[in-house]
Each structure stands twice: as structure tokens, then as C-alpha cells.
Amino acid sequence: MNLSLLILVPLITAIAVLLVRNQQQVKWVSFIGASIQVIICLFLFVYYRNDVAAGNTSQMLFQQNYEWFPALHIGFHVGVDGISVAMVLLTSFVVLAGVLVSWNIEKMTKEFYFLLHLLAVGAYGFFISLDLFMLFFFLEIAVIPKYLLIGIWGSGKKEYSANKLALMLMAGSALVLVGMLGLYFTGTERTFDLLKISATHIPVNIQLICFPLLFMGFGVFSGLFPFHTWIPDGHSSAPTAGSMILAGISMKLGGYGCLRVAVYLLPEGAKEYANIIIVLSVIGILYGAFVTMMQKDLKYINAYSSVSHCGFVLLGIGMLTKTAFTGAVIQMVSHGLMTALFFAVIGMIYQRTHTRMIGEMSGLLKKLPFIITVLFIVGFCSLGLPGLSGFVAEVTVFMGSWEHPDAFHRIITILACMSIVVTAVYILRAISKVSMGPMNETFSHLKDAAWNEKLAAVILLFGIIIIGAAPFWLNDLIRPAAEIIMQKITGG
Amino acid sequence: MKEFIILMKPELVVSIIIFILLFIKLGKPTGNDFLLNVIQVLLLINFASGFFFNHEGNLFGSMYHTDKLIAAQKSILSLGIYLISLLFADWFKKSEHLAEFFILMLSALLGMFFLISSGNFLMFFLSLELATIPVAAMANFDLDKKISSEGAMKLILISAFSSGILLFGISLIYGSTGTINFAELPAVVTGNPFQVLAFVFLFTAFAFKMSIVPFHLWTADVYEGSPMAATSFLSVISKGAVAFIFITVLYKVFQPMQEIWYNMVVLLSIITMITGNLFALRQQNIKRFLAFSSIAQVGFILVGISGNSPEAITSVVYFILIYVFSNLAAFAVAATISSKSGKENISDYKGFYKTNPFLTWIMALSLFSLAGIPPTAGFFGKLFLLTAGAAKANYFFIIIAALNLVVSLYYYLRVIRSMFMDKNEEPIEKIKMQLSTRFGMIICAAGIILVGLFSWIYDYIQSLT
């Protein structure tokens, strides 16, 4: 399996989009490119499973290593483990769905799809990089397309939100950069290579400096409290596909970076700061949940609930147990699919009713049966109904947290559990208000989902239901990789 | 004699071009279009000649020194001049004194070549003067504009002032060590207070030339007043040349005092970055905006210089190559807009993307490169400067530098936002460009994208240091 394909295919799609002539071609080229990418990712998944089943025990599979800047020991080094495969699969699903829901975009179509695919290049590259320099390169590639997507195609106070997002994410990546340079200069040999750095012993005092820099930096991306403030503004101003990718993929860059770079490379630092991470993430979970209760705008509801849900990712990482790590990754995948679908549905509703205020909607179930049914499923997934992916993820995180026998962790876990009740309150309230009750006369002419919207919804629903019904395959995929990270922590 | 010709080839080529231009000027008056084409070809030859027969050696009792790295640095400057002749074609064609402008510019370039090659403080001083005085005349080239004369006046006063300080520093060095030869100085420089004082004077002179804060006050006024071609020359070529010789002086001559100058460089770097960035935040005029942004960029160059290693030299040379492409492209777009519509304010650019997508993308690329956003080359340039600076494990310094990157992104995004996002009922109309301007912009865009991604350019420079 040639992993460079994962970067090349979206890149070629992006360039092809610029070269074709009319809107129709742009859309189809994007669709075909994204579909090819999904197929490649499915193949990757199958090959990965086969290789592991055949007894390949190396940590990273399908590695490719070329020199890039040999003078500085920077390499083009890619490879995947179970966590990367899961994230890459998530990315391909969300991008395809994002292409489909933006089918009706009229303003500067070419530029829109170009930026969308450029963003995808950043995400794919980030998840498969094994060289910190490359990882950082792709992390930053993904920032500016978001800025332009929000600023040009967004709604509401879009310029403000776009600026806030770009600056906060860049500040996060600036911290990552400093931490990364710290790691570069610690070893006997100067290297950015993830595997080489993980093999060297980094002095504890350096770990204590670099860990907070890296974790905070990536934390900004994944909405670590108190650096979450870009999330509600950014998500609510972005165009539908923008919000989907922002919440579905972009926030996961942060979680993945925290786990893969900060915790894996700096285990001593992780142990030292674990309690702070746990406290901050629980604040994020509860704060996000309570703030969501007060929201009246559907996009804000989902944006704040994303803060709450991504808190579970960070909580799982902060718990430093194998099960909790696995749960964190499952939560990333699950939340990615779920929130992307949620935003897609909100976009579909908004396109028809031209409002996102739940107060102004009622009885839409009669007119939009497909869209509202999807809204129900995704809402249930969000509040953790068994049988859907959200439940699996949260339970795994809680189980991992419960492995700590001391009072502090127990209390924290109970507090985090309580947020589920709050989630149920706001989700049920929003859904029931939108779907039931007397139908507003102005909505009587609305049409249900078109083929592209149905396809997008089905793709994402497929993921949510598969994970919910048969979580073991995802679990088996992630667990060995989590095991390796755990060994670093216990082995010192 | 043969050695003389081979080693001084870049200077000789530039001198010959100057004479050719002088003779053309003396002869029958020719049209500007034809003359500009001739100049462009000559400058291309000048750039191309930089790739051949580069040898290492000394001349005039080590007054003049050259090696492959210096040849590469000269090539970067030649490339910059060639790009200027392409990018500002519009303004050149309207100019009444085209040949004179290029004679002045090439004289300054000649001075810079000698400056980079100098192996002695006397040579250094003479060539610095040659590199400065023509620039003042160039700054005054918009003859009918008062603001242009004002800028030129400021520039000449500041230059005279800094030359005085420089001479004072050089004489103190001679007084304390008995030599002004670069090769002999490291052995006798000990870092005693007297020499530190001399060094401070020297450093001040450099700071004036590179517009390091607090010696930057002339920059914005001169940039605003001068014609864009002169401004871009000042901000790119002249700064690059001084940065090159600054490295030589610090790393070779004052190597024994490195602990002293390290602290000075770090301090000034922090002040320069912060001041440049904070002032750039509020500028409305695009030229003043670019002036303050270039001050902030100098702060970044100082981060790399503080590294004091072969990698640091590479990263600075590499960054200046990238800076040539990015900054010249930004100036060229601003100049094109200004010469066609007379508009120079950022708020005038609103809705520009609708009417001029090509120019907008060039501007966006160059600003992203200046801000250090991947995949543009500026990302690699900035990152390698930071990497070079980080070798000293001074976390505080690197964090400040990295956060300054974020601040700078804010004001670069202001321009982007104004061009792409803001609505405007009456945007600037579609601009028809000269072919050579378009060609130059495409070269710059290609440079901005390719110099970073293709690592062999970095490796090549690294192999020279």
C-alpha cells in the first residue's frame, strides 16, 4: 500500500478542480476525487487488517521514508498504525460527505472546492506523518483554507470568526513549533523523526518544558478549555461543509497530536501534568454542556456540544490508561462522523427554512421526513444512546477512567458522566421543538432531501451505526496502538 | 591579471553594463520600450553570469575576498535586480530618465558586491557608501512629488549620520587592535570594554542600514515617498546585502565576543519584531504597511543570525532568497495597482478579487509567504531561521518569535480579507498589465512555491557554507 497516494489524490483533485471549465465539471471532479479517496482508505483498512492478521507486529506499517532536507535531518516519512488508519477513514468519509452537501454552492465554486481539497490534503498528511516537521507542515496547511472558507462563504459575523479562528489556531501551532524545536535539539542526533525521538530518552526537565507547550498547542485545535472560544464562532459562521470538516476533522488534528506527539513522546511530562489535563477537560465537558442548554441557534448548539464532546477525547488522553486511550480515539471517530452529520442536517434545514433558530421552527417532521429522521438518529448518537457510536466511545472512556482506584479520578469520572444527562436535556429539547408540534404555514412548500444530501447522510450514518452495532473492529484496530503508547508511559 | 578577471567577474560585469548604459544615454535618444528590453536582457546576462567560473580567492592584499557562498549571495542580489526590471516595467516606461535610474541602481549594486566581498573595514566603508548614495538619488526619482524629495532627504541624512557612527566605530577598533583586516582581527579581539564600545558603534551603523529598532524611524517615510521600484530595491536588495556582510562581520571578526553580541542580537531582535508588528497593525497605506512588515522580517532574520552556526548562515541566505521573491511580488502588485488607479490604501483593495483574480492570487501568495504559511517558501524560511536560533535552547526567545508570527499573520490577513471578503460597490477596475510584469510575477509565484518544497536549493546553499 503506497501511503503517498493519500496525499497525492486530494492534491491532484485540488489542482484538477482549478483546471476544469464549468461548475458542473468542478463538482463531478471533486466528487470523483473524494470517492477515490474513500476507496483507497477502505483498501488501506483491509490491507492493514490483513497485514496485522498475518503477524506483522511492527509499530508502523507501510512506511515510506525519503530525505527531504537532509542537511537538517528532515525526512518525508509516512506510516500508519491503527489510530492513524481510523483517523484517515474518518477523514475520507467526512470529506466525501462535505463535497456532496455543498453541491448547490454557486458563489466561486471552483475556489470553494479547491480549498476544501487543500484542507483535506492537510488532514491526510497530518494523520500519516511520522516526521514532526512534516506533521507541522500539514497542520499549518489546514489553517488558511479554513480561514478563507469561513471568510468568503460563511454567514453572520464571518470576518470576525475567520480571524479569530486563524489567529487562535496559529497561536496553537506556534506553541507546537516551540515544543517541537525543543525535542529536535534534545537527542544526541538532531532529528524530527517521531520513531527516532521516541527511542531516545528525553531528560525529565526538558519534558516538563516541552509537554505543556505541545499539549496546549494541540489543545487549542481540539478545544481544550480555556482555548475553546474559537469553536462556537468558527463553526457557526462557516458554510455547511466548512463546519463539517472543521468539527469532524480539524478538531481531531488536535486530539491526535496530543496523543501521538505530546503523550507518546513525553511520557514523564504527561504523568506530571495529567491531573491538570483531567480537570481542564472536565471543566470543558460540563461547561460546554451547560452553555449548550442556553443556546437557541442550532449551529451554536452543535458547536458548544462539540466542546463538551471533545472534552471526552482529552479526558481519555489525560487518564493515561490503555482503555481510556482507546476510548479517546473511538470518541474522535464517533464525534467526527456524528458532528459532521449534525452540521450537514442543520445546513439542509437552513437551506430550506432560512433560519437556524429553534424557536422559529416546528413540525418539520411532516414536511422533511428524511432530514428530520436523520436529525433524530444523530441526536440520539450525541446523547449516547446504546447501539450508536457515541455510546461506545463514552463508555470506553469511562471504563478507562474507572481503572484508577483513587477518589480524585472517581469523582472526576462521575462528574463527567453527569454531563450526559445535560446533553440529553438540550438534544431532546432542540429536536422535539424542531420536529414536532404544529407546522408553521410558511414551511408548507418545503421539499425533502435531494439525492446528494441523502447520499451524504447515508455515508455518515453508515459509519455511526456500524461503530455502534459492531464496535469490536474499531476497538481491535486501535487497541494495539494504544498499547504501545501505554508501554511508553509505564516503561518510563 | 587573469586571476583578477576571474575573481572580480561579478563586479566587472556590472561595471560593463553601467558603461553600456552610459553610452546608450550619450548616443541617439531611444524609446523607453526598446531601452527597457535591452536593460532586461543585460540584467539577465548579469544574473546568468553568476553561475559560472566561481572561484575562491583574495585580491589586493585580502582587501577583496570571494568564495562560492559570496558568489551565491551576489547571484541572489542580481536576481532581485532582474526581477525589479521586469516587475516595475509600467513605471519604467513612463519614466523620463530610465537609463539614469538603472545606472544608479547598478552602481548601488556594484557597491553591494564590493560590500559583500570586503575583507577589510576600509573596503567595507567605501563600498557601503557606494551602495548608499545612489539609493538616495533613486528615492528622489518621482521628481514632481514633494514627498519623494522628503524621503530622499531623510535617507541621505540618516545615511550620513550612520556613516559617521560607523567610521567612529572603525577607528575605535583600529585604536584598540591596530588592524582593520577581517582576517587578522579575530586573533586580537578580546572583548574588553573598549572593543565592546567600538562594536556597539559598528552595530548601530548596521542597525541603521537594516532598519533594526530603535534605528528604524526613517524606514516608513522613505518607503512611502520613494517610487515603488526604489522602495523595493531598498527593502529587499539593500537589506539583503547588509545582512550578508553583517553575518560575516559577526561570525568571523567578532567571533571571540560572541556571548556579548548574542545578547544584543536577541534583545534587538525581540524589540524589532514586536515594534514592526505592532506598527504594521494600524497602517492604512500599503507602502507603509510593507515598510513595517519588512522591519518585522528583519527581526526574524536576527533570530537566525543569533544561532551562530553554519546552519544559521544557510538559513539567512535561504530566507533572503525567499524574501526577494515574496516581497518583490507584493511590491509589484501594489505598484501596479497604484500606477493604474492611484490607490494605495488597503481599504481601497476591497472587492479586488472580483475584478483582478490574478493579481489577488499573486498578492495572497506573497503575503502568505511573508507570514510563513505553508506550502509557500516563507514557511520553510521562517522555520529554518527559528531552528537556527533555537539551537541555543533559549526557549523564551523562541516563544516570543513564534508568537510574533501569529501577530504578523493578523495584519497580512487584513489585506487578504480586504481583497477576498469585503464587499465593495465600486472595486478597482480590471487592470491591464505589461507582459513583462506578468512574466515577473509568475517567476515570483513559482519561486515562492518551489524554493520551499524542493529542498535541493537549501542543500546547495548548505554545501557552500
Cis upstream peptide for A226 (omega within 30°): yes
Q: How many CB pairs under 8 A join A and B?
A: 87
Q: Specify the DSSP class assigned to residue A325.
A: H
How far is B269 from B214, CA to CA, in rounded Å? Answer: 11
Least CB–CB distance from B420: residue in A152, A170, A181 = A152
Query: Contact B383/A177, CB-based, under 8 Å?
Result: yes
Judge: B458–A69 Cβ closer than 8 Å, yes or no: yes
Measured CA to CA, the distance from residue B303 to residue B388 in angstroms comes to: 8
- Is the model's pTM score more than 0.90? yes
b/e map B190-213, b = 16+ CB within 10 Å: eeeeebbebbebbbbbbbbbbbbb
Predicted confidence (pLDDT) per residue in A167-185, tens digit: 999 999 999 999 998 888 8
Q: Indicate the residue of A137, A167, A213 with minimum beta-carbon distance to B374.
A: A137
pLDDT at B108 over 90: yes
Cα–chain-centroid distance for residue B220? Answer: 15
Check A159 against B413: CB less than 8 A apart: no
Query: What does DSSP assign to residue B427?
Result: P
- In whole angstroms, give the CA distance from residue B149 to residue B298: 26
Instruction: From chain A, pick out residues whose CB is under 8 angstroms from the CB of B417.
Output: 151, 159, 162-163
| SS3 category, A488 | helix
Cα separation, A261 vs A280, in Å, equals: 19
**Rounded mean pLDDT, A107-114:** 87
- Please state, in angstroms and rounded to a whole number, the distance separating the CA atoms of residues A162 and A181: 28
Task: Find, in chain A, the residue whose alpha carbon is nearest to that of B423.
Answer: A152
Nearest Cα to B142, choosing from B338, B373, B274, B367? Answer: B338
Residues of A with Cβ-Cβ distance to B406 under 8 angstroms: 167, 170-171, 174
- pLDDT band per the 50, 70, 90 thresholds, residue B363: very high
Chain B, 328 to 387: residues with Cβ < 8 Å from chain A are 368, 373-375, 379, 383-384, 386-387
From the CA atom positions of chain A, what is the Rg in Å?
Answer: 21
CA A139 to chain centre: 13
Neighbour count for residue A98 (Cβ, 10 Å): 29
Cα(A275)–Cα(A188) distance, rounded to whole angstroms? 31
Q: Is the pLDDT of residue A214 over 90?
A: yes
Query: Distance between the two ends of chain A, CA-based, in angstroms?
Result: 33
User: What does the block give as the cell for A473?
Assistant: 473492529
CA nearest to B416, candidates B301, B312, B333: B333
Instruction: Report the alpha-carbon distance of residue A65 to residue A79 in Å, rounded.
Output: 9
Closest to A217 (Cα-Cα) out of A256, A166, A173, A184: A173
Secondary structure (DSSP) of B311-368: HHHHHHHHHHHHHHHHHHHHHHHHHHHHHHH---BGGGGTTHHHH-HHHHHHHHHHHH
What are the tens digits of pLDDT across the range A84-93?
999 999 999 9
| Per-residue model confidence as pLDDT tens digits over B282-326 | 888 888 999 999 999 999 999 999 988 888 999 999 999 999 999
Within a 10 A sphere around the Cβ of B112, how many other Cβ atoms?
27
Choose from B306, B387, B410, B458 for mutation: most chain A CBs within 10 A. B387
- Looking at the DSSP bridge assignments, the partners of residue B101 are none
Instruction: Put residue B61 in one of left, alpha, beta given phi > 0 → left and psi -120 to 50 → alpha.
Output: left
User: CB contact, 8 Å: A403 with chain B?
Assistant: no
Residue at B28 is within a domain: no
Supply the pLDDT for residue B74: 92
Is there a contact between B200 and B173 (Cβ–Cβ < 8 Å)? no
- A137, B379: Cβ pair inside 8 Å? yes
Confidence (pLDDT) at A313: 92
Report A:73-112 residues touching B (Cβ under 8 A): 74
Counts for chain A of helices (H) and strands (E), in that order: 22, 2
pLDDT value of residue A91: 92
Q: Report the residue count for chain A.
A: 492
- Chain A residues closer than 8 Å to B311 by CB: 71-72
Angle at A108 between CA A103 and CA A112, to 5 degrees: 60
DSSP-assigned beta bridge partners for residue A351: none
CB A175 within 8 A of CB A217: yes
Residue A133 and residue A166 in contact, taking contact as beta carbons nearer than 8 Å? no
- Given this model, what pLDDT does residue B282 score? 87
Place of cell 463538551: A308
Residue B58's pLDDT is 85
CA nearest to B230, candidates B153, B154, B140, B138: B138
Q: Do A137 and B375 touch (CB under 8 A)?
A: yes
Residue of A11, A76, A178 to mutate when probing chain B, most B C-beta within 10 A: A178
% of chain A with per-residue pLDDT over 90: 33
- What whole-number distance in Å separates Cα of residue B355 and Cα of residue B347? 15
Output the nine-digit C-alpha cell for B213: 529598532
A5-34, pLDDT tens digit by residue? 889 999 999 999 888 888 888 889 999 999
Residues from chain B that touch A74, judged by Cβ atoms under 8 A, are: 455
Position A492 scores a pLDDT of 53
Structural domains of chain B, count: 1
Indicate the pairing of strand A74-80 with strand B57-59: unpaired
Helix (H) or strand (E) holding A79: strand A74-80
Burial of A110 (0-12, 13-18, 19+ CB in 10 A): middle
What average pLDDT score do residues B373-394 get?
A: 88
The dihedrals phi and psi of A141, each to the nearest 5 degrees, come to: -55, -35
Nearest by CB to A167, from B384, B409, B422: name it: B409
Residue B111 lies in a domain: no
Q: Cell digits for A139?
A: 497542520
Helix (H, G, I), strand (E, B) or coil at B250: helix
A148–chain B Cβ distance below 8 A for any pair: yes
Q: Give the minimum alpha-carbon distance from A232 to chain B in angstroms, rounded to a whole number.
A: 20
| Chain B hits for A172, Cβ within 8 Å | none
Mean pLDDT value across residues A269-286? 92
Q: Does A242 touch chain B (CB under 8 A)?
A: no
The set of cell numbers assigned to B110 is 556594484
Distances (CA, A) of B406 to A1, A131, B254, B314: 38, 23, 33, 24
| Contact criterion met (CB below 8 Å) for A298 and A360 | no
Range of the domain at B303: 258-465
DSSP string over A257-292: HIIIIIIHH-HHHHHHHHHHHHHHHHHHHHHHHHHH
Q: Does A158 touch chain B (CB under 8 A)?
A: yes
Confidence of residue A317 (pLDDT cuts 50, 70, 90): very high
Instruction: Give mean pLDDT, residues A348-373.
Output: 84
Residue-wise pLDDT tens digits, A30-55: 999 999 999 999 999 999 988 888 88
Q: Is A73 helix (H, G, I), strand (E, B) or coil?
A: coil
Please, are residues A93 and A460 in contact by the beta-carbon 8 Å criterion? yes
Only one residue has cell 514633494, namely B146
Using a CB-CB distance cutoff of 8 angstroms, which residues of chain B are in contact with residue A140? Answer: 373-374, 379
ipTM: 0.91
Q: Are A376 and A383 in contact (CB under 8 A)?
A: no
Burial A334-355 (b: 16+ CB within 10 A, else e): bbbbbbbbbbbbbbbbeebbee
Q: Which residue in A89, A95, A128 sits closest to A466, CA to CA?
A: A89
Region B195-208: what's the mean pLDDT? 91
Mapped onto helix, strand or coil, the DSSP state of residue A76 is: strand
Residue bearing cell 538619488: B137
Q: In angstroms, rounded to a whole number, what is the distance separating the alpha carbons of residues A387 and B20?
A: 84
CB contact under 8 A, B311 and A147: no
Pick B409's closest partner by Cβ from A70, A136, A170: A170
The answer on pLDDT for B140 being more than 90 is: no
The answer to whether the Cβ–Cβ distance between A170 and B406 falls below 8 Å is yes
Across the interface, do A177 and B402 touch by the CB < 8 Å criterion? yes
- A170 interaction partners in chain B (CB closer than 8 Å): 405-406, 409
pLDDT in tens, A368-420: 888 889 989 999 998 888 888 888 898 999 999 988 888 898 999 999 988 88
**Do the chains contact at B406 and A171, CB–CB below 8 Å?**
yes
Give, rounded to a whole angstrom, the gap between the first and last alpha carbons of chain B.
28
Structure confidence at residue B168 as a pLDDT band (50, 70, 90): very high
